[in-house]
Amino acid sequence: MEDLKKRTVAGQEGGDKDIIFSKAIKAGKRIYYLDVKKSRNDEMYLAITESKKVYAGIGENVQANFEKHKIFLYREDFEKFVNGLNEAVQYIVDAQGPCMPRVDYQETSAVNQEADDADSEEPIKIDIDF
């Protein structure tokens, strides 16, 4: 899931052309983007984007759109933000216990494939009557 890249979008003012580092985190139905950007005065900051696929419409008129939420985090606030985030996460862990990591579809498929391969040593017998 390591996703290091430099994205550029030509002709888009204030768009992604100023991203100098990007990390995408796939988590279930959501993708979180951590983008390091440079402001006009060459100060770096972190743009955190949550992107979630949502469906609108009925029947054959269903359309998929992406709902996005952004947070801009500036360098002078990093320490306070990280400390607050750690405190909030620890509160949840203390109250509800540790969470099992999310298993991605690809990881699940690989595990199921290995189980299928182990079971496939015996010939498959099919008896069909018509």
Where do the domains of the chain lie, and which CATH numbers do they carry?
Answer: 16-119 (3.10.450.700)
Q: Can you tell me the distance from the alpha carbon of 85 to that of 5, in angstroms, rounded to the nearest whole number?
A: 26
Q: What is the pLDDT along the chain (130 residues), one digit of tens a residue?
A: 444 444 443 333 455 668 999 999 998 889 999 999 999 898 999 999 999 988 888 888 888 888 999 999 999 999 999 999 999 999 999 999 988 877 765 544 444 455 455 454 555 555 555 4
Q: Which residues pair with residue 19 across a beta bridge?
A: 37
What is the Cα–Cα distance from 23 to 59, expressed in whole angstroms? 36
Per DSSP, the three-state class of 102 is coil
**Which pTM was predicted?**
0.61
